[in-house]
Amino acid sequence: MSTRGVWSFHPAVMLAYYVVVIIGFMLSQHPVFLAVGVGFLLVFHFLIDKGKQLKTWSTMILTLAVFILVLTPVFNRRGNHILFYLFGNQVMLEAIIQGIMLALTLVGILLVFISLNQIISQDRFLYLFARISPQWALLSMLAVRFVPLLKKRLKEIEEIQKVRGFSVTKGSIKERGKNGMLFLQALLTGSLEQSIQSADSMSARGYGQQKRTHYQAFTMKNKDWYALTFILVTGSCMVFGWWLEDSVLSLLPVLETSQLEQREWVFIANWTLLLAFPLWLEGKEVAKWKFYLQKI
Amino acid sequence: MEILSAKNISFTYPLEEKPALKEVDFHIHKGEFVVLCGASGSGKTTLLHLLKQEIAPHGKLEGSIFYKGTQLEKQNKPPDDIGIVFQDPENQIVMDNVMEELLFGMENKGYQTEDMRKKVAEMTHYFGLTHLLDKKTSELSGGEKQKVNLVSVLLLEPDLLLLDEPTAQLDPIAAKEFIQTLTQLNREFGITILMVEHRLEELFAAADRVLVLEEGVKKIDAPPREAVAMLHIHPILNYFLPSASRLFLHFQPEVAPRSIPTNVKEGRDWLLANNITADSDMEAEQEATPIFTLKEIDFQYNKDTAPVLHNLSLSVNKGELLAILGANGTGKSTLLKVMAGILRPQHGKVLYDGKKQKNLVNMAIRYLPQNPALYFLEDTLMAEYSQIVKKHPVENGEAIIATLLDTFGLKGIEERHPADLSGGELQKAALLGTLLEDPKILLIDEPTKGLDPYSKKVFGTLLGDLRKQGLTIVMVTHDVEFAANYATRCSMLFQGDISVTEGTRAFFKGNTYYTTVMNRMTRKSAAPLAVTLEEAKENWRVQRKS
Amino acid sequence: MARSKKILIILSVAVLLLLCCFPLIISEHYMIVSLLIMGISFLPFMYRFSKQKLTSRELVMLAILGAIAAVSRVPFASLPSVQPTTFVIIAAAIVLGPQSGFVIGVLAAIVSNLFLGQGPWTPWQMYAWGMIGLTAGLLRNTLFMKHMLGRCVYGFGVGFLFGWFMNLWFVVSMINQISWTEILLYYSASFYFDLAHALSNVIFLFLFSNAWIKIIKRFKTKYGLFE
């Protein structure tokens, strides 16, 4: 697993960053703010894995975005600027802008989560979780460990039963569904019995005798504190911008211009700074490696 | 110094009348390596679990167990320094990655991060696990898993290590390595070991003492050689003994225990000391009619991984028992799945009775998996069998089931839940199920995994009988001894292709390393070359050199 | 313990009722208030479990059931929008009761998202499946849940409720600017998926709930768990 660039930070710092950015997307209802946000996230995805992970989600994201872009103006008829008529219905400029903002918010939030899954990997997530509730974390870890085991067993059951003439890929839907459930049932029975051994191995290693400690795989370094301070400062600034309504475009009663004015520039600069932070970290890493390779 | 002793312990499970253990009495000294053996159902696992209080079974316990001078039941907390490793490497693992798994016990015991780091670093270096630390536990091989389990227990610094058939699920090479590690722990670090095990062949050199349980009663408590002398006449446990001892005792049953050979080296010395002649060395060539043929098969799981089978051709003759041997990861199981029609090869032809297979899953070909428990979908054996007879209507289905239950020795347990059967019973029960579907060819994946030597013998004999009745059987296995005893032909799988196929005897005679204990012992000795013990017993005449 | 459980259950039911009724009273900050209420009804159960003393066997059993609920999607991958996760949670809750039903539901959500990727929907899924398990556990001794018809009605109902809940992540993200008509529109778009979920719940419960309940019960009594 990678431990350089953005991955070198403490998971709590990573989480704080993502929380702040998600709040940013929900609060900053302004097309320019949102577009800037989506743009930066796209570049970030390109930097971390050349957008591979993003590609697997692209169909879902695009479908949702188009769905909102098209349907919002059709159903939202509030506003003062009629653009044209569609099947006898007015289509408003406000509604179109709103559609764009909704779509951008949605795309932004999904992009944030896709990169979050790459940056805060399973073990980091469970580490964070363990700090909040050890019992929940332990239970989740157990379940996470069982998933590949159960999948393997389920595959074996499917293979064996296929030779016996029970299949989940051939036959009527009724048959397939029934066979699928029979396989799960066999998996349940077998796995419950086998789980006694797992439980015994836990008890034999002292589980439940005293309070557990938790191995601290991550420590807060100086750079983590700096990064956290930066995130909190820019984050507060962002919320302040929302409170002043500088990072919000008002549609009703009067449509505000999308052009940025005066103070709004300050807040967009702040938002950019926040978004550019991981880009800078990753970009630095990429440049450094290029440089090293050339030297060698 | 005594570390553990049991005084007259009897144990009865709830709702059962017969006690699982009856007045068992034994002592273990500090630094000893003791092997506990017995047939399945003899109470050995019960005994081992009783010694580890955290997992002691519920039931009525009489008598007392002393650990380091104090009675276990009288301590308010179970002792910290007894560790246990179980049979199944997979089920003991409770964490997703290796590092977490190693830490698990120490976290339970409240260790601080610094201490954990130090200890893990030390142990993983010593056991050569460093390269596995970041891996997912589900990606490890069986041998690696068991090693992780062992180290995870050792991190808690046990003085007494209990092991419950830890090598039963491993391949022979991993098993040997595991036993070597245990020997090292015992010799160099003075850890006391009590181990339930079937593989006496490898263990005899390491063990100080052998305890034998039979139906809950302690039958033998003696040094290995004496135990061998006593067990030799036992109808079940004699199969557990090393080949060298069994060979020797067959020809010279009345001797002092200390002259009994227990390993290949001692066996060879004995051969040298005798004049041995063999009656005949004939192998009847069987008539070969191919019934099932694979031609130029290529198979890979996906585009980016290396091919598992490559340009593989193989033909199976009618009425033979073909064993396909090969090391771990050579694609044995994959080959069997291709034959069964579970996997579809990318290239090549599969011909049954000279005709190309249209329907991949052929009714005449049946498959018995490595884990026979997964074969069952119903609650009881009987329900499963009735279901099969209903699905594949045969005349007198019920009568056939009854006869088969009888011949398989499964009568009386047909109403049990498959999960409650022993390994040997389960294997037979699944075999019975496949036979009800009246197959022409039976494919078996690793039939001896987890079976004790006696169950192996029973299962092997059963397969031999079925073959004589006309069933064609193909099995993949890494159990060399089993193949040598029951197969009629053997194939070697290497790098995705069959490298040799020969009659069993010729196959093993030609091998120097990958072969049976008997063959290793008789190779380059004065005695006639033998592959199996049975063969030597039948053909040899032994005379003492004067 | 038993008393605190009762109080907790009564409280959560009261909160749920409140959640359904209060738009009649205050309609202005509906979304925010309902989010708060959700949190209030959810966190006590999360907290309660994190303080509960469990044996390793009980813990492992919960983990296996949660993992099976999550994995149960696999054999149904070829049948669109059919997955027995909800069924598994209900069956387990009927045997093991509200607290365990809740835990298995939440766990199924956490685990499946750890493998499929966390999304803005994660907390909603945790809540929805957790509550499905909780209510199934609460109703387990009533005639309604003991009767197959009642069980199927429950499965049908929660199939839809689950879908509606899952749409909420979407609605909440747009909290500032969405109107009721739009919300209705989005909900109608998911109708067929929700229907498929509801119907498959009914079918699974009808055909398999007795067998599954029997298996889980047998295991529970065999090893004396959760007593």
Question: pLDDT tens, A24-60?
Answer: 988 888 889 999 999 999 999 988 888 888 888 888 8
The band of A261, judged by pLDDT with boundaries at 50, 70 and 90, is confident
| Shared domain check, A255 and A115 | yes
* pLDDT tops 60 at residue C176: no
- Identify the pLDDT of residue B281: 58
pTM of the complete model: 0.89
Nearest one of C106, C102, C94, C108 to C155, comparing CA atoms: C94
Percent of chain C with pLDDT over 70: 80
Question: In Å, how far is A294's CA from the nearest CA of chain C?
Answer: 37
Task: Give the pLDDT band (50/70/90) at residue A282.
Answer: confident
Least confident of A132-136, A193-197, B81-85, B280-284: B280-284
Distances (CA, A) of B242 to A205, A229, B98: 34, 70, 36
* Final residue in a domain of this structure, among A161, A176, A204: A204
Burial B208-230 (b: 16+ CB within 10 A, else e): ebbbbbbebbbbbbbebbbbbbb
Q: How much is the pLDDT for A167?
A: 83
Print burial letters for B232-245: b (CB count within 10 Å at least 16), e (below 16): bebebbbbbbbbbb
Mean pLDDT of B207-211: 93
According to CATH, the topology of domain C53-223 is Arp2/3 complex 21 kDa subunit ARPC3 (1.10.1760)
Identify whether residues A28 and A114 lie together within a single domain: yes
Task: Based on the fold, state whether residues A66 and A172 are members of the same structural domain.
Answer: no
Touching chains, A (3+ CB pairs < 8 A): B, C
Residue B136 gets which letter from DSSP? B
Q: Answer whether residue A214 is part of any domain.
A: no
Contact C162, C132 (CB under 8 A): yes
Same-domain check for residues A60 and A139: no
Residue B38 and residue B390: Cα distance in Å, rounded? 40
**pLDDT value, residue C32:** 67
- If asked whether residues A113 and A259 sit together in one domain, one would say yes
* The residue to which tokens 């009721």 are assigned: C180
Q: Are residues A131 and A53 in the same domain?
A: no
Please count the other Cβ atoms lying within 10 Å of the Cβ belonging to residue A129.
19
Helix, strand and coil content of chain A, in percent to the nearest 5, comes to: 75, 5, 25
Residues A110 and A244 in one domain: yes
Q: Is the domain of A135 the same as that of A200? A: yes
- Tell me what percent of chain C is helix, strand and coil, each rounded to the nearest 5: 80, 0, 20
Per DSSP, the residues of A117-179 read HHHS-HHHHHHHHHHH-HHHHHHHHHHHHHHHHHHHHHHHHHHHHHHTT--SSSS-HHHHHHH
Q: Which of the residues A18, A144, A178 would you substitute to probe the C interface, choosing the one with the greatest number of C C-beta atoms within 10 Å? A: A144
Helices (H), C27-121: 30-50, 56-71, 85-96, 98-116
Residue B219 CA, chain-centre distance (Å), reads 23
Asked whether residue A110 falls in the same domain as residue A136, the answer is: no
State the burial class of residue B544 (Cβ atoms within 10 Å of its Cβ: 0-12, 13-18, 19+): exposed
H/E element, B269: helix B264-272
3-state secondary structure of C143: helix
Question: Which of B85, B261, B267 is closest to B185 using CA atoms?
Answer: B85
Record: contact A1-B134, CB cut-off 8 A: yes
The number of helix segments (H) and strand segments (E) in chain B equals 19, 22
pLDDT at B544: 79
Supply the range of the domain harboring residue A180: 127-204
Residues A189 and A266 in one domain: no
B53, B208 contact by CB (below 8 A): no
Give the per-residue pLDDT at A124. Answer: 86
With a cut of 60, say whether residue C1 has pLDDT above it.
Answer: no
Whether chain A has a CB inside 8 Å of the CB on B52: the answer is yes
* Average pLDDT score, chain B: 89
| A142 and A64 in a common domain | no
Minimum CA–CA partner of A23 in chain C: C173
Confidence label for B280 from pLDDT (cuts 50, 70 and 90): low
Neighbours of chain C (3+ CB pairs under 8 A): A
Torsion angle in degrees (nearest 10) through CA of B141, B171, B36, B106: -10
Lowest mean pLDDT among A107-116, A197-206, A207-216: A207-216
**pLDDT tens string B235-247:** 888 899 998 999 9
> Closest by alpha carbon to B20, among B236, B218, B215, B196?
B215
- How many Cβ atoms sit within 10 Å of the Cβ of residue B46? 20
Residues C23-53 have pLDDT tens digits of 555 555 566 666 777 787 788 888 888 888 8
Average pLDDT, stretch B275-302? 80
Phi, psi of A157 (to 5 degrees): -60, -45
pLDDT band of C116, cuts 50, 70, 90 = confident
Residues B146 and A136: their CA atoms lie apart, in Å, by: 27
Is the pLDDT at C185 greater than 80? The verdict is: no
Q: What are phi and psi of B61, to 5 degrees?
A: -110, 130
Number of structural domains, chain A? 2
CA-based nearest residue in chain A for residue B87: A197
pLDDT at C118: 80
Most confident stretch, A98-112, A241-255, B387-401:
A98-112
Contact A163 B341 (CB under 8 A): yes
| Closest-CA residue to A152 (of B145, C104, C129, B103) | B145
**Distance from C-alpha of B23 to C-alpha of B61, rounded to nearest angstrom:** 10
Q: What pLDDT does residue C26 have?
A: 52
* Residue B337 near chain A (CB below 8 Å): yes
Average pLDDT value for residue range C217-226: 89
The ipTM of this complex is: 0.88
Question: Of the segments A248-257, B143-152, B197-206, which one has the largest average pLDDT value?
Answer: B143-152
For residue B428, count other CB atoms closer than 10 A to its CB.
Answer: 23
Helices (H) and strands (E) in chain C, counts: 10, 0
Model confidence at C174, in pLDDT bands (50, 70, 90)?
low
pLDDT at B508 over 80: yes
| A160/A99 same-domain check | no
Tell me what pLDDT residue B309 has: 92
Q: Residues B338, B299: contact at Cβ < 8 Å?
A: yes
Amino acid at the residue B456 = K
Say if residue B291's pLDDT is above 70: yes
Peptide linkage before B307 cis (omega within 30 of 0)? no
Asked whether residue A117 is assigned to any structural domain, the reply reads yes
Mean pLDDT for the stretch of residues B59-72: 91
Q: Which residues of A touch B371 (CB under 8 A)?
A: 153, 156
Asked, for residue A51, whether it belongs to a domain, the answer is yes
- Statement: residue B153 has pLDDT above 90: yes
CB atoms within 10 A of CB B64: 14
Q: A27 with A34: CB under 8 angstroms?
A: no
Q: How many CA atoms are closer than 13 Å to the CA of C212, on its beta-carbon side?
A: 28
- Which chains have 3+ CB pairs within 8 A of B? A
What is the distance in angstroms between the CA of the first residue and the CA of the last residue of chain A? Answer: 24
C117 vs B217 pLDDT, higher one: B217
Grade residue B424 by pLDDT with cuts at 50, 70 and 90. Answer: confident
Q: Does residue A218 form part of some domain?
A: no
Nearest CB partner across the interface for A147, out of C47, C49, C70: C70
Does residue B8 carry a pLDDT above 80?
yes
